[in-house]
Structure 1
Amino acid sequence: MHKPKGDAITSLHDLSAVDLLAGYRAKQFSPSEVLEEIISQVATWEPHIKALYLYDPEGARKVAKTSTERWQQAEPAGTLDGVPATIKDNVATKGQPVPLGAASVKLAPAEKDAPPAARLREAGCVIFSKTTMPDYGMLSSGLSSFHPLTRNPWDVSKNPGGSSAGAGAAGAAGYGPLHLGTDIGGSVRLPANWCGLVALKPSLGRVPIDPPYVGRVAGPMTRTVDDAALMMSVLSRPDRRDGMSLPALEVNWKALEKSPRKLRIGLMLDAGSGQKVEKEVREVVVKAAKAFESAGAVITEINGILTPEILEGLDNFWRARTWDELSKLSQAERGKTLPYILNWAEAGAKLSGVDVVRGFNQTMAIRAAAAKLFCEVDYVISPVSPVVNFPAEFAAPLNDPAKPFEHICFTVPWNMSENPALSINGGYDKKGFPIGVQIIGRRFDDIGVLGMGKAFEGLRGPQKPWPAPPKK
């Protein structure tokens, strides 16, 4: 236990990375003590939520021990020395397989760390586990043909979202402060939304990644904006393996104080396509907009930039892309894929070349619409998801492979336009289930988006207590 401020007693596993580092510096506790609390927390929660893959407490104990020794000498090795972290299944870590959440993928040890994993390791993180994801990252769900079903700590009958499913569940369950996810259509923001976390989808190229792809980014999933910024200070360091990465930029990731005064904020309550926004989601987002307005921002309601044609085009493009991967497998291997994904992807075989190109071209339509929008506003506030939650066993809120992306219409545009977008807890439904708010900024304004998130933390006030493990 640790008593950081006032009379509040906080478990070590619940402390932010910022507070952990301050505690290490002051010799209040050690990385080894923190890791033991996390190991205990994992033992309590993991039978209920199944968030982890390749969990390695013994290997982590060795890393934490050497970190503890460095801190005893007041010689930390990096920005995050001794801070526990998890890494999503699809981010390669040296010597470990990368199953992509799919039983159809052949398991082979990765030759080296992918850039985000390398940066966290160099910074001294105690990487104690990988986290789960659905097949090929093409679901916002904890459902997978390879991993056990991952559940949401806030309500284990509900889905944590995905595709960074395990990262979201681990963050909410108190498996330490730092979790690395990836996002190509909402995959860090959606689980953060349903798990009460903060997640940044950075501008494309801000965090080098390998392999890179259209709209694909890696980003932090944390409990606080300060921790997300701290993680970004490490993840954004350059790596030549990513041919889409941005030039190294001197950003003071700690400079998060930002006043909303006189900022033009667009309030987007209709994505232009997809599922209807549920009443409780709408109320939380409107309340967030009013909080910014009370702080001096100018709020204007705006239309979404997605259309049903754009959404259908993206769907066709991704079906064809996934079928391309699955078509290379034998029929037996392909049959191991989650039936929902196989069903969805098989339609890609019937698309013409023109259909697929037309689908890909929708990414450019989104980009043009986003650029036009941000001529008029400084930031956008919107829901992250249109729905409060959905069953753990579902592949998606509608659970219909014919309509797979109706729930990502608020998140996917910003992948294709390359804008930074943050998910942050905005409130709760009547049963206490978390509901996120999304803050989007202009391309490359990652620090501004984090600053707006930090301002919102102050306007929103403290969150509810984190969930307690179910009684056995």
Structure 2
Amino acid sequence: MTTTASLLHDLSASDMLEAFRTRRLSPVDVTRAVLERVQQWEPQLHATYLLRPEAALAQARASEARWMRNAPQGLLDGVPVTIKDNIATQGDPTPLGTAAVELYPASADAPPAARMRETGAVIFAKTTMPDYGMLSSGLSSFHALARNPWDTDKGPGGSSAGAGAAAAAGYGPLHLGTDIGGSIRLPASWCGIFGLKPSLGRIPIDPPYTGRAAGPMTRTVTDAALAMQVLSQPDTRDSMNLPFQDIAWHEAADATPEFFKGKRIGLLLDAGCGLPLDAEVRAAIEHAARLIEAAGAQIIPMKPFMTPAMLEGMDHFWRMRSLADMRLLSAERLAKVLPYIREWAESAASFTGAHVFNASQQFHVTRVVTVKACSAFDYVISPVAPHVAFRAEDASPTNDPLRPLEHIGFTVPFNMSEQPASSINCGYTEAGLPIGLQIAGARFDDLGVLKASRAFEQMRGGQHPWPEPAQR
């Protein structure tokens, strides 16, 4: 294993832990290398919030002492990790990406943060997100504009914007995001990393909300599976927490292309709503399908099951929810909300009660049709999004607050159906931008999705080198 200082930030979590066990490396070595990498990239990317080098090094020194006693605190002791802004960490403010929120210290770690702290991971920073997590971009009224390391003129996606950028840029191996309509998978796709949105309730979260899941964002499937061993521990604060299962997450690392042999794989190339599929994205997904077919799977084209009415209904309900929240703000605080978000929410002011009720029913309709459409298959593959990363300054791909969700037709159905779904890089555009393949499984088959992702990871061919910061 290469352990030169300049490459320590690139090590996988698994390699770091093995180096700690054999004392070839210390958590202090790795943390210093990661902090150096952040210093090189951060002026361009703006991926972090509450970056605290001295606190990180103190955690790393404590971890080093535990490893010297052969008494690691937990599975990820000493591994650097970032946590998204909206996952509360005790004593820190949780701005939710917006300048409108009053800042006060969180009273406790939210479940994903608590699991990381309990296992001894080095929490060195939180990551940036857009206002209220309601954008698939890094545009925020509180944080500096986040950018994509593959092309800093582009955004990293969102709402786990900083997490996606940080993983691609080499800010250590493990990053925690959240996803209610694609907020892990979209930045994973556009930043060329791996992201898992697990089954609803698999990773406890607080506060829980319909469709909202936390999940790992990593460079490798194996690191995500490693994180799941920690993150999937139960927590009573999540009213939708699944009953604990002792899942053999480590088996994901052993999956090979043989995993696909005999599997029925649905191929979805038309979301049924939203923006048209870009030709380069289509070509990359079709190539991935051919690779999976060559491994012994049966690829079966699927008809679209989402409709514009479903997507519009969810959009309109979320507009009204956001409008209700914003009506609780003072005029001074409301003025601080990103104008795009204000216009989007205020467009719901004329909605009738009947309209909002009918809109709310589209969440369940989406759930029913998604489960039915996927029931004939072992797994469903599709694009994560109909296009690749877009201009960093734009709030959304359309940049139109009245057409804000035209890009989530492939991702949002699996939030509503509570099914696990991943994003794994499957190719690049001619300009070198990453393209994500979505792999969705049946509800509760999180391990299967990880195995399918790991199998594809070994089949997809050579990957472009990770991006490097511009020389200053």
Per the normalisation by structure 1, the TM-score is: 0.98
The Cα of 1:470 is off from its aligned counterpart by 1.2
Cα RMSD of the aligned pairs, angstroms, is 1.2
Does 2:406 align with 1:410? no
Aligned residues with identical type, % of pairs: 57
**Aligned-partner Cα distance in 1 for 2:374–2:138:** 34
**Aligned-partner Cα distance in 2 for 1:45–1:94:** 27
**Aligned-partner Cα distance in 1 for 2:125–2:5:** 27
Q: What's the counterpart of residue 30 of structure 2?
A: 34
Does 2:94 align with 1:94? no
The Cα of 1:302 is off from its aligned counterpart by 0.3
Letter of the 1:435 counterpart: I
Does 2:237 align with 1:230? no
**Aligned-partner Cα distance in 1 for 2:128–2:303:** 35
**Aligned-partner Cα distance in 1 for 2:325–2:130:** 15
**Aligned-partner Cα distance in 2 for 1:439–1:116:** 23
Per the normalisation by structure 2, the TM-score is: 0.98
Aligned residues: 468
Q: What's the counterpart of residue 244 of structure 1?
A: 240
**Aligned-partner Cα distance in 2 for 1:377–1:396:** 32
**Aligned-partner Cα distance in 1 for 2:373–2:451:** 20
Aligned pair partner of 1:82 in 75, 78, 84:
78
The Cα of 1:438 is off from its aligned counterpart by 0.3
The Cα of 1:471 is off from its aligned counterpart by 2.4
Does 2:396 align with 1:396? yes
Instruction: Determine if contact 1:386/1:407 at 8 Å carries over to the other structure.
Output: yes
The Cα of 1:335 is off from its aligned counterpart by 0.9
Distance change >3 Å, CA 333–CA 268, structure 1 → 2: same
Instruction: Determine if contact 2:11/2:172 at 8 Å carries over to the other structure.
Output: yes
Q: What's the counterpart of residue 324 of structure 1?
A: 324
Q: Deviation digits for residues 207-251 of structure 1, max 9, x if unmatched?
A: 000000010000000000000111111111000000111000010
The Cα of 1:348 is off from its aligned counterpart by 2.0
Q: What's the counterpart of residue 449 of structure 1?
A: 449
Aligned pair partner of 2:13 in 13, 17, 38:
17
**Aligned-partner Cα distance in 2 for 1:18–1:354:** 53
Q: What's the counterpart of residue 346 of structure 1?
A: 346
**Aligned-partner Cα distance in 2 for 1:430–1:9:** 33
Instruction: Determine if contact 1:3/1:9 at 8 Å carries over to the other structure.
Output: no
**Aligned-partner Cα distance in 2 for 1:445–1:288:** 21
Q: What's the counterpart of residue 358 of structure 2?
A: 358
Q: What's the counterpart of residue 185 of structure 2?
A: 189
Q: What's the counterpart of residue 275 of structure 2?
A: 275
Q: Deviation digits for residues 451-472 of structure 1, max 9, x if unmatched?
A: 0000001111342110010122
Q: Which runs of 5+ in 2 are unaligned?
A: none
**Aligned-partner Cα distance in 2 for 1:170–1:9:** 19
After superposition, residues 190-229 of structure 1 pair within 5 angstroms as 190-229=186-225
Q: Deviation digits for residues 75-126 of structure 1, max 9, x if unmatched?
A: 1110000000000000000000000000000001000000000001101110
* SS in structure 1 at match of 2:283: helix
**Aligned-partner Cα distance in 2 for 1:412–1:305:** 12
Aligned pair partner of 2:139 in 138, 143, 152:
143
Distance change >3 Å, CA 134–CA 287, structure 1 → 2: same
Q: What's the counterpart of residue 307 of structure 1?
A: 307
Letter of the 2:218 counterpart: T
Q: Deviation digits for residues 325-372 of structure 1, max 9, x if unmatched?
A: 111001121110000000000112221122112111111111111221
* SS in structure 1 at match of 2:249: coil
**Aligned-partner Cα distance in 1 for 2:375–2:130:** 37
Letter of the 2:221 counterpart: V
The Cα of 1:168 is off from its aligned counterpart by 0.5
Does 2:337 align with 1:337? yes
Q: What's the counterpart of residue 469 of structure 1?
A: 469
Q: What's the counterpart of residue 149 of structure 2?
A: 153
Q: What's the counterpart of residue 57 of structure 1?
A: 53
Instruction: Determine if contact 1:199/1:221 at 8 Å carries over to the other structure.
Output: yes
**Aligned-partner Cα distance in 2 for 1:201–1:349:** 32
Distance change >3 Å, CA 65–CA 9, structure 1 → 2: closer
**Aligned-partner Cα distance in 1 for 2:201–2:355:** 28
Letter of the 2:293 counterpart: E
Q: What's the counterpart of residue 439 of structure 2?
A: 439
The Cα of 1:9 is off from its aligned counterpart by 9.8
Instruction: Determine if contact 2:315/2:405 at 8 Å carries over to the other structure.
Output: yes
Runs ≥4 in structure 1, deviation > 3 angstroms? none
Instruction: Determine if contact 2:6/2:33 at 8 Å carries over to the other structure.
Output: no
Letter of the 1:84 counterpart: P
The Cα of 1:58 is off from its aligned counterpart by 0.4
Q: Deviation digits for residues 414-441 of structure 1, max 9, x if unmatched?
A: 0011110000000111121111100000
